[in-house]
Amino acid sequence: MLNYFKRKTKTINQKRSEIKEAFFKSPHHNWISEDRYIKRAFAFLLDNLNEEAINFLYPNKQEAFFIKGNGRLGTALGAKKNTHLILVYPDLIKMLTSGAPLMGVAVLAHELGHIVKGHSFKVIDPLQAQCEADEFAYEMGLGNELQEVLMDQKPNLETRTRIARLTSLILTKRN
């Protein structure tokens, strides 16, 4: 009986692999596969999805499409209940193709965090939503990189608060 459940239950790594395969096969993501540097960055993101993201995105549950757009860095949009869009802007693409692509991957993880946390479908304080998405990126191992991105942004109360919270998470982990 136990063997039956073992065969029926896919491991997290099997699910991650299926998500990655479906992601790169999607015609919406052709633009990603066409550039080896962008593809490498997205592969890193997908290879490092945490269990929460995997269970959220696992095929036939939720879909997230990364679409090129115009703006600054990226934006997550909840289009329908099971379909989500993340707009990827030119400056984020530049980060993903740079010598330090993990800063761009951290931004992608942050935007994915908004989707996984369901921010499009609930009333939430914008700063709290940003901090939750930051924590999601941190949990994927990208806290330092996201902190660097935030430190390059125009300083304001929101940015300083987010940096302080990320710093707290990073320092707590070290101790």
pLDDT tens digits along 35-57: 999 999 999 999 999 988 998 88
pLDDT by residue (tens digit) across 93-121?
Answer: 999 999 989 999 999 999 999 999 988 88
pTM across the whole model: 0.88
* 74 burial via Cβ count (<10 Å: 0-12, 13-18, 19+): buried
| pLDDT at 174 > cutoff 70 | no
Classify strands 63-68 and 83-88 as parallel, antiparallel or unpaired: parallel
- pLDDT, the chain, mean: 88
Mean pLDDT of 117-142: 92
Return the half-sphere exposure (C-beta side, CA atoms, 13 A cut-off) of residue 115.
31
> What's the pLDDT score for residue 56?
84
Task: Answer yes or no: are the C-beta atoms of 139 and 50 closer than 8 Å.
Answer: yes
> What's the pLDDT score for residue 8?
47
Q: Helices 36-47 and 12-25 meet at what angle, rounded to 10?
A: 150
> What's the pLDDT score for residue 42?
96
> What's the pLDDT score for residue 125?
92
